[in-house]
Amino acid sequence: MHAFTGRILEVTSVRIAVLGTDSGVGKRTTSVRLVQGLRARGVSAVLVGTGQTSWMQGVRYGLILDSLVNDFVSGEIEHQVLRAFREEKPDVIVIEGQGCLTHPAYPGGFEILAGARPDGVVLQHAPARTHYDGFPDFPLAGVEKEMAVVQLLSGRPVLAITLNHEGLGAEEVRGRSAAYRARHGIPCCDALRDGVDPIIEELRQRFPRLPG
């Protein structure tokens, strides 16, 4: 296994972590859709998977985060990002999140921020949820608190919010998206239902070196 080395600073690809406000909230799906959307727009992109489902789906670069001894988690994340960069030199590397920073049982995400050193974060949220999935006694911290924790730990911004539409109709999702855009001044969309074009436009504005 690999310990953290600091060689992550050699990576010149834009690194985007897809974190969430809960477990099982759609981070992997949004990560896949974002990579697909970037490629369709002429931006070379690769996915670094961090969980069992990505592994089973055959992701080329990845690890199973919750199978590792904790001392090596950030180093293995760094190692996979370095592999992706050295082998493909992509414009963008998308790192799939696990759990969430505030989750009482699955507090994933810190090692991803530490090991991958992302340039920005996409935050996945299910607006209809009031409590962490499977833990009805623990209210969800929510978007604002999760964004504050990301900023505090990484010093990097949340670039976009993506929504999981479970329990919501199409009009409700559009209303929630508009409210989050107005409140935070960043794109908000349902990546599965509506696509990821607003996120890609935001990345191109923030990182002018990207193609197009």
Does the pLDDT value for residue 212 go beyond 80? Answer: no
Q: What pLDDT score does 60 carry?
A: 95
pLDDT at res. 5: 97
Report how far residue 35's alpha carbon sits from residue 148's, in angstroms, rounded to the nearest whole number. Answer: 26
Predicted local distance difference test score (pLDDT) of residue 51: 86
Instruction: Estimate to the nearest angstrom the gap between the alpha carbon of 5 and the chain centroid.
Output: 22
| Mean pLDDT, rounded, for 185-190 | 98
Which pLDDT value is given to residue 53? 86
Q: Are 34 and 196 in contact (CB under 8 A)?
A: yes
Over 90: is that where the pLDDT of 139 sits?
yes
Q: What is the rounded average pLDDT of the residues 166-186? A: 96
CB atoms within 10 A of CB 206: 13
Listing DSSP states for 95-135 in one string gives: EE--S-TT-SS---SHHHHHHH--SEEEEEE-TT--EETTE
pLDDT band at 65 (very low <50, low <70, confident <90, very high): confident
The stretch 119-128 carries a mean pLDDT of 98
Report residue 197 as tokens: 């074009």
Say yes or no to pLDDT of 188 above 80. Answer: yes
- When pLDDT is cut at 50, 70 and 90, the band that residue 116 belongs to is very high
Binning pLDDT at 50, 70 and 90, where does residue 6 land? very high
The domains of the chain are located at 8-205
The reply to whether CATH 3.40.50.2300 applies to domain 8-205 is no
Please, is 10 exposed, middle or buried when counting C-beta atoms within 10 Å of its C-beta (0-12, 13-18, 19+)?
exposed
The reported pTM is 0.96
Task: Report the Cα–Cα distance between both ends of the chain, in Å, rounded.
Answer: 38
Query: CA Rg, the chain, in Å?
Result: 16
Q: In the prediction, which pLDDT does 151 show?
A: 96
Report the percentage of the chain scoring pLDDT > 70: 100
